[in-house]
Structure 1
Amino acid sequence: MISGVPHLTTALKGPLLHLEEHLLKHQTQVETWLREQWLITPAPFYASVDLRNAGFKLAPVDTNLFPAGFNNLNPAFMPLCIQAVQAAVERVCPHARNVLIVAENHTRNLFYLESLETLRQIFEKAGLEARIGSLRDDLTESIRVEL
């Protein structure tokens, strides 16, 4: 059974730093605080935040409104991803039935394209028709990319 909060894994070895121990010890309070903040100011539908862990402090260093990396999600957490999309769509646009994912204009990075395809699949499994599109002026017809 999958819990409501994923257990994250890392390649790092060794003892936990004081900050990490503190966050784990107070996980419920941290989750409660985040939930309260999101009620005041809802998080964007689609964004990611890069965090820097210095061992004694944790700080946001970058916010991405067009994040990638969906292809790196642990497949075991896919039901949670689908549930999160369903909840977000219900909150933001409950009558939505279709989603257009707009790709970056200038990318040849296959990992980025794999990420978009994974995101498209998550939307489809959440019950939405999803397509990947582009705003490039030079595209006049669909193109197929083998991943």
Structure 2
Amino acid sequence: MPSSRGCEQGWYYYPTSKNKDYHKGVGPSNSNHNGTSRTAKSTFTSEVSGTVGIAFSGELEVKGNAAVVEISGKFGVTVSASMTAKIGNSISVPTPAHKTTYARYGVYRLKSYGYSQYTYVNCGKGKKHKVTIYTPHRIGWALWED
């Protein structure tokens, strides 16, 4: 039974599940090939800065900040509407013999799922609109080798 005082009319976002973090690079990937027979140290330094924001597919009918608040609360994680990866961050990693290490600096975004739904003043609900959303979660390096 609806509340006698009614409901706050408008669009709301409801997160339902989360996946893992996906890296969004800022600037080019860097690489270092170790042509020796021993492990060597590779050092990478970010040379560009950039801001990474929310990305989504589906119908997100609310502002990004509202989705961020709901995702943080539902999953107990810290996410933001945007994060900036800055110039000058360095990382040193071992590169095995005859391998190439690749590095890209940027922002990890949490992939989650949910829906937007309209609530009417009488507390009735509209149609659910599915949304997949990537919210900035942390800044860091993505590393891989071959």
Regarding TM over 0.5, the answer is no
Q: TM-score of the superposition, structure 2-length normalised?
A: 0.22
The structure in which a higher percent of residues are strand is 2
Q: Calculate the TM-score normalised by the size of structure 1.
A: 0.22
Q: Which has the larger radius of gyration?
A: 2
Higher relative contact order (CA 8 A, sep 6+): 2
